[in-house]
Structure 1
């Protein structure tokens, strides 16, 4: 069984719906042997990253940058996971608004 970690910031209804759609897609019946879970970025830990086999990150676009919550996730998890997770399969989606 593989683990897919979804770290997505969802401060609004639309961003929550996006995160739920990603989770639902990852849990599609045609996808076997994958356990997917969504963890908000302020709750995600280096241990979550170290335990996963792939990661999807979701963020709002704030002044042409990722959300502060996702940046906080990177700040806390980058160095503890750097050596162990090089080459980790990943994807990113951005909920862009005004200038995205």
Structure 2
């Protein structure tokens, strides 16, 4: 019996649009990757034990005043030291729902993930500007790529 790999999605979803993005990401991750167990957890509910149990991670945040959401920052504050050593090299991906350009948000998240020594496995997905239904497809593809990569042992 094979051991299933764990993909943890930590996503801040304060609106129906951001919830739709997370749902699409989850749906994509649950497609064609039978060896992967996917969990979606809100940043304020996720803790070190969730990260320690994960084989890969997808982070989702809104752009708030040019920064990540306070909820995602709180998540990082709580998991940083317990996960610093044991999770070095953890593969992760990031998506940002940005009303503007998302650059400050991306920089803030990447500063913390660099400190954690996590490994970005693709460029961040930044859903910029007014909400576009294409964002849903992009998030679905991100979820699918992460799960399939984890299932295949590529990431």
TM-score > 0.5, shorter chain as reference: yes
On the 8 A contact 1:63/1:99 being kept in 2, the answer is no
Residue matched to 2:70: 68
What is the TM-score of this pair, normalised by structure 1? 0.96
User: Which structure: greater strand fraction?
Assistant: 1
In 2: Cα distance, 1:35 partner to 1:88 partner: 16
Give 5+ residue unaligned stretches, structure 2.
Answer: 103-155
What does residue range 1-100 of structure 1 map to in structure 2 within 5 Å?
A: 1-28=4-31, 30-100=32-102
User: Which structure: greater helix fraction?
Assistant: 2
- Shift >4 Å, 4+ stretches: none
What is the TM-score of this pair, normalised by structure 2? 0.62
On the 8 A contact 1:26/1:36 being kept in 2, the answer is yes
In 2: Cα distance, 1:52 partner to 1:39 partner: 12
For the pair shown, the structure with the greater C-alpha radius of gyration is 2
Name the count of aligned residue pairs. Answer: 99
In 2: Cα distance, 1:26 partner to 1:98 partner: 27
